[in-house]
Amino acid sequence: MESNNSRRNFLKKSAAIAMGTIAATSIVNNVFGASEYIEKEKATPDGGKFTLPMLPYNYDALEPHIDKLTMEIHHSKHHQGYVTNLNKALETVDGNVLGSPQSFENIFDKVAKLPTAVRNNAGGHYNHSLFWILMKPNAGGQPKGKLAAAINASFGSFDGFKTQFTDASMKRFGSGWSWLVVSKGKLVITSTANQDNPLMNLDSIEVKGTPIIALDVWEHAYYLKNQNRRAEYIASWWNVLNWDAVESLFAAVK
């Protein structure tokens, strides 16, 4: 796990996006610009409600790689469901157990003591919020600069990384996520089941760290277009992966 400060800063940034306090147009222009992060400081929902963040692009913007109907249902139905159910689940939590604020940082830290519905829906809300901004139209390609160097050092080459990440995504049995995380200063590929993520303070999380790439491998992410062909969906997703955002997250972890 990174230092408490860097982890806290990262979570605050992520929370601002999840809370919908960062304007979608700003995200398009500058995924993690400094001004948005200042706003993020105010974003922690202390007593407030979590809300569905707007996508930083239209539902059809990722065509032909990820189709409009999948994006619309995934965002407006599935992600909205996590947000709604997270707010409901939090109403049942004893304030003494969670304390304040009701932030992702606090929820993930205390998740082992919280109801399963909080774990599943807080994970669902956070994971999807990250997933959306890590895609954009006309993207894909390869990372640059320090991230490219770190990937080459960790995985031998970009192609080596791509193969290993794809393999981890294919091997996740059932529903879950695959991740590239910064863990103890190193880049590591890992995966989690259901809506868990590497930020959760749970023994079952194999690699704890700060996510910089998130890939949703639930069938709801691809079934309408690709049916059961997860490999086809993953191959399409590489074409919309927003390396600018990944690089920003990587820089923010340090």
Question: Three-state DSSP class for 214?
Answer: strand
Nearer to Fe ion, 57 or 250 (CB): 57
Radius of gyration of the chain (CA): 17
Cβ closest to Fe ion, residue 218 vs residue 243: 218
Give the shortest CB-120-to-Fe ion separation in angstroms: 12
Query: Least Å distance between CB 3 and Fe ion?
Result: 30
In the bound complex, what is the minimum distance in angstroms from residue 124's beta carbon to Fe ion? Answer: 7
Beta bridge partners of 190: 179
Structure token pair of residue 128: 């999807």
**How far apart are the C-alpha atoms of 36 and 13, rounded to whole Å?**
8
Taking the complex as a whole, how short is the minimal distance between the CB of residue 176 and Fe ion, in angstroms? 10
Residue closer to Fe ion (CB basis): 33 or 81: 81
Amino acid letter, residue 93: V
Cβ–Cβ under 8 Å, residues 186 and 174: no
Nearer to Fe ion, 233 or 250 (CB): 233
Among residues 101, 83, 2, 86, which one has the least CA distance to residue 42? 101
User: Which CB atom, from 93 or from 221, has the smaller least distance to Fe ion?
Assistant: 221
Beta carbon of residue 136, minimum distance to Fe ion (angstroms, whole number): 17
- Confirm if 151 and 188 have CB atoms less than 8 A apart: no
What is the nearest approach in angstroms of Fe ion to the Cβ of residue 215? 10
- Provide the residue type at 151 as one letter: I
- 216: exposed, middle or buried (C-beta count within 10 Å: 0-12, 13-18, 19+)? buried
> Can you say whether residue 205 is alpha, beta or left, with left for phi > 0 and alpha for psi between -120 and 50 degrees?
beta
Residue nearest to Fe ion according to CB distances in the complex:
216
Give the interface with Fe ion as residue ranges (CB under 5 A): 216, 218, 221
- Nearer to Fe ion by Cβ, of 14 and 106: the residue is 14
